[in-house]
Amino acid sequence: MMSDAAFLSRLREKLGTTGVLMDPAQCESYAIDWRRLFQGKPLVVARPSNTHEVAAVVALCRDYQIAIVPQAGNTGMAGGAVPDASGRELVLSLARMNTIRSIDPVGMTMEVEAGVILKTAQDAAAAQGRLLPVSLAAEGSAMMGGIVATNAGGLNVLRYGMTRALVLGLEVVLPDATIVNGLRHLRKDNAGYDWKQVFIGSEGTLGIVTAAVMRLLPQPKDSVTALLSVPHPQAALDLLACVQSELGDSITACEMMAGFSLGLVEKHFGLRRPIADGEWFVLIEAASTLSGLREATETALGHALQRGFALDGIIAESGRQAAELWQLRERITESEGKEGKSVKHDVSVPIPLIPAFLRAADEAMARLLPGTRINCFGHLGDGNLHYNILVDRHTADEVNVVVHDVVQRFGGSISAEHGIGQYRVAELDRRRAPEEQILSRKIKDAIDPDGLMNPGKVLPRKSAHGH
């Protein structure tokens, strides 16, 4: 077996000393996930600065049979971007690949490298009057490679779809170090298999995304943001249906939050909700390139209030006030972290079943852990809730099983947008039909026969018997 010293010395030859981090202090932030649940130990952190350097690292890893853990902004919620504790896995950071290669405001596309921070990409598109619609609370740190590799959801899925709906082309480095350039700036391309779909959402288990062509949209001229309190989740759905009937696809976001969630934000960030207390709140945003949006939104929300779907509400008077309302929603995750440990869920159920799902999940949790505090919020318009239980992590597996049993009963998914990473591997494996898992394994084996790409993420590690 060839030695680590030889491997590391060849890695330095390929990337130079700035491209290789070995000092444990420098590697620290690459070794632990955002939630600080998964602490690993990288053999080394490689920081290539272009696609050819990525391919060179991958070729070297193939020669030495070193496993690779791709990492972009390391904001993932499923522990997918951190290595295991063996000290044998290389972290491949895309952070130095941060060039926006092009923006085409006429063709409505932008080509970005994997290390471009989402917010930087959004701002660059906005400067040309175009919208990159992916938006999430981690957008100041998450990078485009991670966004694509997790098929990120977020706050605007209701109108624009998940990341998958916005990717036109991809450049990937395969586990055998081949560079595949599919960076086509085409709205229509039906030529052959759409292989990029397999890499979108594959969480680093099939190859490395080095660049992407993203679809852009016109930047809306006007947007209206409103916060409403609602008596119960069914009213939140009625509210959404009511405003959707009147405003059509101008609705870009419809987020629901428990009063408890907003209480956490107030406690940890001092941000107060501007309307009366309630058990549930809904944040709605509408945006349009046409005029008259505000009046139409006021009318639609007025009707919802008259019909009792909402109890109270406020429409932001300025961009600043709209941002303040969004802070109430976007600070929930950090507030939950400050409050203490939690067992997170990222589930989806068919939209009309949300109220019944919540009743059933609350009952199941009350039976398992009476009196437990539940931080429930999420993307109502997408049927995606974060149903987070504020308990110490030692009960995580038990809690997961109870909540996911309810999800399964309602025909839902145990990962709506965060992916599987290492956090949900066992749960996915026990709940997905064997035929689906076998098909996924065939895809994995076909593209990554040596199993060197992010082992143990998404699919279970192969046993010594090769299963």
- The residue ranges that bind ligand FAD (CB under 6 A) are 34, 69-77, 80-81, 94, 114, 136-138, 142-143, 145-147, 149-150, 152-154, 203-204, 208-209, 333, 417-418, 421, 454, 457
Q: Residues 72, 82: contact at Cβ < 8 Å?
A: no
- CA angle at 197 for the pair 187 and 188, rounded to the nearest 5°: 15
Tokens read off for 281: 């709140």
What interhelical angle do 233-247 and 293-306 show, nearest 10?
140
Q: Residues 325, 316: contact at Cβ < 8 Å?
A: yes
DSSP, res 273: P
Give first-to-last CA distance, the chain, whole Å. 25
Question: Residue 175, exposed/middle/buried by CB under 10 A (0-12, 13-18, 19+)?
Answer: buried
Identify what 386 binds: ligand FAD, ligand MLT, none; CB under 5 to 8 Å per kind. ligand MLT
Minimal CB distance to ligand FAD: which residue?
A: 146
φ/ψ (deg, to 5) at 61: -65, -40
Q: Under the criterion CB under 6 A, does residue 333 sit at the interface with ligand MLT?
A: yes
Question: 84 or 203: whose CB is closer to ligand MLT?
Answer: 203
In the window 131-160, what residues touch ligand MLT (CB under 6 A)?
137
Identify what 328 binds: ligand FAD, ligand MLT, none; CB under 5 to 8 Å per kind. none
Amino acid at 185: H
In the complex, the smallest distance separating the C-beta of residue 356 from ligand FAD, rounded to whole angstroms, is: 24
**Residue 416 to residue 82: CA distance in whole angstroms:** 21
Identify what 70 binds: ligand FAD, ligand MLT, none; CB under 5 to 8 Å per kind. ligand FAD
Identify what 203 binds: ligand MLT, ligand FAD, none; CB under 5 to 8 Å per kind. ligand FAD
In the complex, the smallest distance separating the C-beta of residue 300 from ligand FAD, rounded to whole angstroms, is: 25
Question: 2 or 85: whose CB is closer to ligand FAD?
Answer: 85
Question: Residue 435, exposed/middle/buried by CB under 10 A (0-12, 13-18, 19+)?
Answer: exposed
User: If we measure between CA atoms, which residue out of 226, 174, 121 comes closest to residue 443?
Assistant: 174
Q: Under the criterion CB under 6 A, does residue 163 sit at the interface with ligand MLT?
A: no
In the complex, the smallest distance separating the C-beta of residue 46 from ligand FAD, rounded to whole angstroms, is: 13
Tokens read off for 413: 């998914």
In a 3-state reduction of DSSP, which class is residue 111?
strand
Identify what 293 binds: ligand MLT, ligand FAD, none; CB under 5 to 8 Å per kind. none
Show the binding pattern over residues 170-209: x = contacts ligand MLT (CB under 6 A), - = does not.
----------------------------------------
Identify what 204 binds: ligand FAD, ligand MLT, none; CB under 5 to 8 Å per kind. ligand FAD
Question: 142 or 230: whose CB is closer to ligand FAD?
Answer: 142
In the complex, the smallest distance separating the C-beta of residue 330 from ligand MLT, rounded to whole angstroms, is: 7
Show the binding pattern over residues 203-232: x = contacts ligand MLT (CB under 6 A), - = does not.
------------------------------
Place of tokens 């997961």: 400
In the window 336-375, what residues touch ligand MLT (CB under 6 A)?
346
**Residue 203 to residue 456: CA distance in whole angstroms:** 11
**Residue 284 to residue 227: CA distance in whole angstroms:** 6
Question: 68 or 254: whose CB is closer to ligand MLT?
Answer: 254
Query: Which residues, including other chains, have CB under 8 Å from residue 21's CB and lie 6 or more apart?
Result: 27, 30, 44, 45, 47
Tokens read off for 419: 């992916």
Query: Which residues, including other chains, have CB under 8 Å from residue 398's CB and lie 6 or more apart?
Result: 368
Minimal CB distance to ligand MLT: which residue?
A: 333
Question: 11 or 77: whose CB is closer to ligand FAD?
Answer: 77
Q: Under the criterion CB under 6 A, does residue 444 sit at the interface with ligand MLT?
A: no
In the set 386, 404, 444, 457, which binds ligand MLT (CB under 6 A)?
Answer: 386
Residues forming a β-bridge with 39: 32
**Residue 209 to residue 196: CA distance in whole angstroms:** 10
Identify what 145 binds: ligand MLT, ligand FAD, none; CB under 5 to 8 Å per kind. ligand FAD
In the complex, the smallest distance separating the C-beta of residue 231 from ligand MLT, rounded to whole angstroms, is: 23
How far lies 261's CA from each of 23, 202, 204, 220, in Å? 40, 31, 32, 30
In the complex, the smallest distance separating the C-beta of residue 422 from ligand FAD, rounded to whole angstroms, is: 9
Show the binding pattern over residues 51-80: x = contacts ligand MLT (CB under 6 A), - = does not.
--------------------------x---
Q: Which residues bind ligand MLT (CB under 6 A)?
A: 77, 137, 333, 346, 378, 386
